[in-house]
Amino acid sequence: MSEEPQGWFAKLRAGLSRSSEKLGDNLSSVFTKSKLDDAMLEEIEEALIAADLGPAMAARVSAKLAAEKYDKAVTEAEVRQVVADEIEKVLRPVAKPLEVVAFPRPQTVLVVGVNGSGKTTTIAKLAHLFQEQDYRVMLAAGDTFRAAAIEQLQVWGGRIGAPVISSKVGADAAGLAYESLEKARSGGFDALIIDTAGRLQNKQGLMDELAKVKRVLSKLMLSAPHDVVLVLDATTGQNALNQIEVFREVAGVTGLVMTKLDGTARGGVLVAAAERFKLPIHAVGVGETIDDLRPFDPKAFAEALAGINPGVGVK
Q: Give the span between the Cα atoms of 304 and 123, in whole angstroms.
A: 25
Please tell me whether 198 is known to bind a ligand.
yes
Please tell me whether 205 is known to bind a ligand.
no
The identity of residue 188, as a single letter, is: G
Please tell me whether 113 is known to bind a ligand.
yes
Please tell me whether 173 is known to bind a ligand.
no
Q: Is the peptide bond before 93 cis (omega within 30 degrees of 0)?
A: no
DSSP string across 53-113: --HHHHHHHHHHHHHHHBTSB--HHHHHHHHHHHHHHHHGGGB-------SSSPEEEEEE-
Please tell me whether 224 is known to bind a ligand.
no
Please tell me whether 19 is known to bind a ligand.
no
Q: Which residues contact 282 (CB under 8 A, 6 or more apart)?
A: 96, 97, 98, 126, 229, 255, 256, 257, 295, 296
Please tell me whether 196 is known to bind a ligand.
yes
- Which stretches does DSSP call E strand in the chain? 107-112, 137-140, 164-165, 191-195, 227-233, 255-259, 281-285, 293-295
Please tell me whether 260 is known to bind a ligand.
yes
Please tell me whether 98 is known to bind a ligand.
no
Please tell me whether 199 is known to bind a ligand.
yes
Please tell me whether 117 is known to bind a ligand.
yes
The identity of residue 30, as a single letter, is: V
Please tell me whether 261 is known to bind a ligand.
yes
Please tell me whether 285 is known to bind a ligand.
no
- The closest alpha carbon to 137, from 102, 169, 95, belongs to 102
Please tell me whether 311 is known to bind a ligand.
no
The identity of residue 62, as a single letter, is: S
Q: Are 130 and 190 a contacting pair, CB within 8 Å?
A: yes
Please tell me whether 89 is known to bind a ligand.
no
Please tell me whether 119 is known to bind a ligand.
yes
* Rounded to 5°, angle at Cα 19 from 13 and 21: 85
Question: Strand 293-295 vs strand 281-285: parallel, antiparallel, or unpaired?
Answer: antiparallel
Please tell me whether 233 is known to bind a ligand.
no
Q: Which residues pair with 111 in a beta bridge?
A: 195, 229
| Binding positions for GTP | 113-120, 195-199, 259-262
| Binding positions | 113-120, 195-199, 259-262
